[in-house]
């Protein structure tokens, strides 16, 4: 496929006009203001179109679309223990499959090509991802409330081993499996130690909720005499590639620790705002050299899985809380939502538009009101248009969403089955 005379925004905010972008197999094989001599097959007229790197949702629980709007205006602990956990007790594999598929459809239609997930019945989410063609780093959430059980006694351990054997690297590497302890308050230090050792043994990445709320952060200090991040260091978790979800209440020392070990913070601005958890200090994290990616968290807390919406909120928040309009520049926000997200998933060759990179591309309509006039196309994208102008989403060179049509899933059926599964759970 060859995009002709198309505008391109690269991950660092560089804007290039009238480009030729050639896709061969799963990769970008040509990027130039000159037409290639070789034939790339189908030609796409890029007039009044903009190509951006596919967005990477660095933290979500995709099947929780089933609980969109089910626990509203509650603090995190009550939201979890009174609404979400009782609903999740009645989950069944098929519900997770359809809820995952609905979330994937929502992400594809809003320009997301890859997501990092933590949940249960992960083989259902992996199956759905392979079927619809989106990329995913999937982690079976590890929690333990029984003091007599060690990591290897947990169902999560056995499931994780199966997932690693069956799905790690499946779909030409589109699906990867992470080791995913849920949080400090749902595990124990010895569980974290064993989980970290397993990540090292398999050479895979880790993800965990860290310092999402103030009470969680302070309870950990009371329990262990140290912050959750200090506990991560002590238990060996920081010795492996780790995505820290939220990081709202990180101390300066915590941030230095994360920077030293190269951990990534997945910033989930909307979920933190909506659950009243607080506001992560993105500018301080970036200044301290911590890599920041962007995630939506689940549709139960967000309530959308729309990364452009999330990036807008992240940018606005940083400017507002620092009283500095230059804070978290649009170019930095774009980088966090694309390249930094891909790197947080261990995908070195993804998250940008350059020759040799994976062809994870999103095409937007510049012939639309939010892009007129075009003094600042990137600002138009983040602060005026949002996902309303997404025309096409391509993953590994394959078009999955085009002009409102999903090419790898039946959206009517996905909506019907998701509602049916939700009714089954509520009537149970
Ligand atoms: Zn989460």
pLDDT-derived band at 330 (thresholds 50, 70, 90) equals very high
**Residue ranges per structural domain of the chain:** 2-53+353-406, 55-344
Q: How far is CA 204 from CA 257, 305, 320, in A?
A: 21, 25, 37
Task: Tell me, in angstroms, the distance from the centre of ligand 1 to residue 35's CA.
Answer: 45
Task: Tell me, in angstroms, the distance from the centre of ligand 1 to residue 212's CA.
Answer: 9
Task: Tell me, in angstroms, the distance from the centre of ligand 1 to residue 99's CA.
Answer: 16
Task: Tell me, in angstroms, the distance from the centre of ligand 1 to residue 309's CA.
Answer: 17
Task: Tell me, in angstroms, the distance from the centre of ligand 1 to residue 185's CA.
Answer: 13
Q: What is the pTM of this model?
A: 0.98
Query: Taking residues 385-411, what's their average pLDDT?
Result: 97
Task: Tell me, in angstroms, the distance from the centre of ligand 1 to residue 383's CA.
Answer: 25
Task: Tell me, in angstroms, the distance from the centre of ligand 1 to residue 41's CA.
Answer: 42
Task: Tell me, in angstroms, the distance from the centre of ligand 1 to residue 40's CA.
Answer: 41
Could you read off the pLDDT of 138-166 as tens digits, one per residue?
999 999 999 999 999 999 999 999 999 99
Give the integer Cα–Cα distance in Å for 29 and 3. 12
pLDDT given at position 290: 98
Query: Taking residues 247-255, what's their average pLDDT?
Result: 98
pLDDT at 167 over 90: yes
Helices (H), 92-141: 93-109, 122-132
Task: Tell me, in angstroms, the distance from the centre of ligand 1 to residue 224's CA.
Answer: 23
Task: Tell me, in angstroms, the distance from the centre of ligand 1 to residue 63's CA.
Answer: 12
Task: Tell me, in angstroms, the distance from the centre of ligand 1 to residue 248's CA.
Answer: 12
What residues does 399 pair with on adjacent strands?
394
Going by C-beta distance under 8 Å and a sequence separation of 6 or more, which residues neighbour residue 323? Answer: none
Could you read off the pLDDT of 260-285 as tens digits, one per residue?
999 999 999 999 999 999 999 999 99
pLDDT given at position 358: 98
Task: Tell me, in angstroms, the distance from the centre of ligand 1 to residue 245's CA.
Answer: 7
Among 84, 45, 44, CA closest to 66 = 84
Task: Tell me, in angstroms, the distance from the centre of ligand 1 to residue 209's CA.
Answer: 6
- CA atoms within 13 Å, Cβ hemisphere of 180: 28
Task: Tell me, in angstroms, the distance from the centre of ligand 1 to residue 298's CA.
Answer: 6
Q: What percent of the residues of the chain are helix, what percent strand, and what percent coil, each to the nearest 5?
A: 45, 25, 35
Task: Determine the 3-state secondary structure of 304 from DSSP.
Answer: coil
Could you read off the pLDDT of 333-367 as tens digits, one per residue?
999 999 999 999 999 999 999 999 999 999 999 99
Q: Which CATH architecture has domain 55-344?
A: Alpha-Beta Barrel (3.20)
Could you read off the pLDDT of 35-87 as tens digits, one per residue?
999 999 999 999 999 999 999 999 999 999 999 999 898 887 888 889 999 99
Among 54, 46, 63, CA closest to 337 = 54
Query: Taking residues 203-208, what's their average pLDDT?
Result: 98
pLDDT at 428 over 90: no
**Which CATH number is associated with domain 2-53+353-406?**
2.30.40.10
């Amino acid at each position: 496929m060859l995009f002709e005379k198309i505008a391109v925004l690269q991950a660092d905010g560089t804007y290039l006009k009238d480009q030729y972008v050639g896709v061969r197999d799963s990769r970008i094989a040509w990027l130039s203001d000159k037409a290639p001599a070789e034939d790339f097959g189908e030609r796409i007229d890029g007039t009044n179109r903009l190509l951006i790197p596919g967005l990477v949702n660095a933290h979500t629980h995709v099947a929780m679309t089933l609980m969109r709007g089910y626990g509203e205006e509650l603090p995190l602990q009550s939201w979890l223990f009174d609404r979400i956990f009782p609903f999740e007790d009645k989950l069944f594999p098929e519900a997770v499959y359809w809820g995952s598929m609905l979330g994937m459809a929502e992400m594809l239609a809003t320009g997301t090509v890859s997501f990092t997930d933590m949940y249960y019945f992960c083989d259902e989410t992996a199956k759905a991802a392979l079927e619809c063609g989106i990329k995913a780093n999937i982690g079976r959430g590890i929690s333990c409330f029984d003091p007599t059980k060690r990591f290897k006694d947990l169902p999560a351990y056995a499931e994780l081993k199966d997932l690693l054997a069956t799905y790690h690297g499946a779909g030409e590497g589109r699906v990867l499996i992470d080791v995913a302890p849920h949080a400090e308050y749902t595990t124990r230090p010895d569980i974290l130690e064993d989980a970290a050792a397993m990540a090292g043994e398999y050479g895979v990445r880790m993800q965990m909720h860290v310092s999402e709320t103030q009470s969680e952060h302070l309870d950990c200090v009371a329990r262990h005499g140290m912050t959750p991040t200090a506990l991560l260091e002590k238990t060996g978790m920081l010795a492996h590639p780790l995505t820290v979800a939220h990081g709202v209440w990180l101390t300066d020392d915590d941030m230095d620790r994360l920077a030293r070990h190269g951990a990534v913070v997945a910033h989930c601005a909307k979920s933190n705002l909506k659950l009243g958890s607080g506001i992560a200090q993105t500018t301080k994290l970036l200044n301290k050299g911590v890599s920041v990616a962007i995630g939506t968290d689940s549709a139960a807390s967000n309530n959308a899985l729309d990364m452009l919406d999330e990036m807008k909120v992240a940018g606005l928040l940083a400017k507002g809380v620092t009283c500095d309009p230059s804070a978290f520049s649009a170019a930095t926000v774009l980088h966090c939502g694309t390249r930094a997200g891909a790197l947080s998933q261990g995908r070195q060759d993804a998250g940008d538009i350059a020759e040799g990179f994976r062809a994870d591309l999103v095409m937007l309509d510049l012939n639309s009101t939010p892009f007129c006039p075009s003094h600042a196309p990137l600002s138009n994208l983040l602060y005026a248009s949002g996902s309303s102008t997404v025309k096409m989403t391509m993953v590994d060179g394959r078009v999955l969403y085009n002009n409102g049509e999903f090419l790898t899933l039946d959206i009517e059926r996905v909506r019907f089955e998701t509602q049916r599964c939700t009714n089954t759970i509520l009537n149970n």
